[in-house]
Structure 1
Amino acid sequence: MKQELHVLIIEDDFRVAEINRQLVEQVAGYQVTGVAKTGDEAMDLLTNSQELPDLILLDVFIPDRRGLEMLREIRSNFHTIDVIMLSAAKEAATIEEALRCGSFDYLIKPVDFSRFEQALLRFREQKFFFSSRQELEQTDIDRLIGIEPIAVLSEAVDGELPKGIDQLTLVGVMEILQSSTPTGINAMETGKAVGVSRSTARRYLEHLVSIGEAKAQLNYGEIGRPERRYIPWTK
């Protein structure tokens, strides 16, 4: 899975759109790549885009059509894009229809940032969950549909992460590791990609080794100290 997830905001109020953009970009690994004020503008952006967004934030109320109609149109024409509805609408029928039409989540305005962040982190974890597996067991499906919490890494199923290991950073390191070349990746390369120091990256990589998600190997060059490189265990 690519490191950064791209978001399109569909919101007719430019002030609200800017607030939503700031909220998105406070969550690590996300970038807003476009803002559309109407349904027609959004569809034009999507139709002519060279790279589709991973996620759309959509209001129920947009000028040229109902947001739920827009949701159905997006889900019909752009199957790889997920949608989170953001709206002041609290009617049970509206929320039920949004969820039936495939909305990943539904957030009521004014949006609480912690709940907003939770939605984006859950979306990111689910994307990684699918990209890191070729087959799913029943327990995996149970986590995805909410019977059990999603656990991206094996240790997260069994208990809390050790002190000094943050779940979000760990997911980022794991994504870099999974997308590395067959020769693997070192701590310096990982730190640069994730945005942490080399020592911090090494601590996370060694943690992945300790829980069986990665293995380390020494590469000996012609001169200097051997380089420790990390590669993911094949599932």
Structure 2
Amino acid sequence: MIKVYIAEDDFRVANIHEQFLQKIPEVQLLGKAGNCKETLKAVKKHKIDLVILDNYMPDGHGIDLIDDIYSLSPQTDIILVSAENDKAYVETAIRKGVKGIIIKPATLERFVSTIIKYMENKKNLQHANQIDQDFLDDFFGVGRIQKPAVVAKGIDPLTLQKVRDVLMDHSSGITAEKMGEQMGASRTTARRYLEHLVAIDECFAELAYGIVGRPERHYYMKKD
């Protein structure tokens, strides 16, 4: 359950935002304030997860209230909802660490999607056992980076794809000799393609020691 407080001087807008919040499961509205002073009192009194903060208040600006809120309650997050769209205002808000900015008039879809994204990030961070790059990419909305299609001189893309397919079918590894048999090529050619995949970090090789003779390199496809 996310505990939310609305700081908005226009009671009509505050009521609309309250109605929007009612559309979102797992949200509890603790109250509403019409100015900065009342907002700070509420932050002191309640354990608030999220403040929906307007910028223009009768006794000050929401952007200036952010530091005071964090000082009183470091665990409280802030999403700004304001008609202000000045670049300097937005840059300042981002530097201060707000979790979102919605420009008025806020539509139901925009308001709800912003709150839900905030809730998902908060929940995922709380329950994460470990943090890896994929987690951070999802958290910050960064698309997964695709490996570039690197093809060296003398490497045929179609043949290379065939080598990939064979590797995928041999999870226990395959030698260059066996690969050559599978792709209808010499051991030397197969090894060249396999070593190319090692060079571009798509597969890896390990030495396997038999009963007699020299150890052989076995190639394995890397898992995503």
For the superposition of Structure 1 and Structure 2, which TM-score range results when normalised by the shorter chain? 0.5 to 0.7
Match of 2:106 among 107, 111, 123: 111
Match of 1:12 among 9, 13, 36: 9
Q: 2:91 corresponds to which residue?
A: 96
Q: Specify the SS of the correspondent of 1:90.
A: coil
Match of 1:81 among 76, 83, 95: 76
Q: 1:44 corresponds to which residue?
A: 41
Aligned length: 144
Q: What letter matches 2:74 in structure 1?
A: H
Q: 1:200 corresponds to which residue?
A: none
TM-score (norm. length: structure 1): 0.59
Q: Distance in 1 between matches of 2:143 and 2:119?
A: 17
Q: What letter matches 2:45 in structure 1?
A: N
Q: What letter matches 2:25 in structure 1?
A: A
TM-score (norm. length: structure 2): 0.61
Residue 128 of structure 1: how far off its partner (Å): 1.2
Q: Distance in 2 between matches of 1:143 and 1:62?
A: 35
Residue 46 of structure 1: how far off its partner (Å): 1.6
Residue 117 of structure 1: how far off its partner (Å): 1.1
Q: What per-residue deviation string (whole Å, max 9, x for no partner) do you get for residues 32-85 of structure 1? A: 111011111111112122xx1211100010111111111121123311111100
Q: What per-residue deviation string (whole Å, max 9, x for no partner) do you get for residues 131-179 of structure 1? A: 2113211221122122138xxxxxxxxxxxxxxxxxxxxxxxxxxxxxx
Q: Distance in 2 between matches of 1:41 and 1:63?
A: 11
Unaligned runs of 5+ in 2: 145-224
**For residues 1-235 of structure 1, what are the structure 2 equivalents within 5 Å?**
4-49=1-46, 52-148=47-143
Q: Distance in 1 between matches of 2:68 and 2:141?
A: 26
Q: What letter matches 1:138 in structure 2?
A: Q
Unaligned runs of 5+ in 1: 150-235
Higher relative contact order (CA 8 A, sep 6+): 1
Among all aligned residue pairs of Structure 1 and Structure 2, give the percentage whose two residues are the same amino acid: 30
Q: Distance in 2 between matches of 1:48 and 1:120?
A: 23
Q: Distance in 1 between matches of 2:10 and 2:109?
A: 22
8 Å contact 2:7–2:51 — kept in the other structure?
Answer: yes
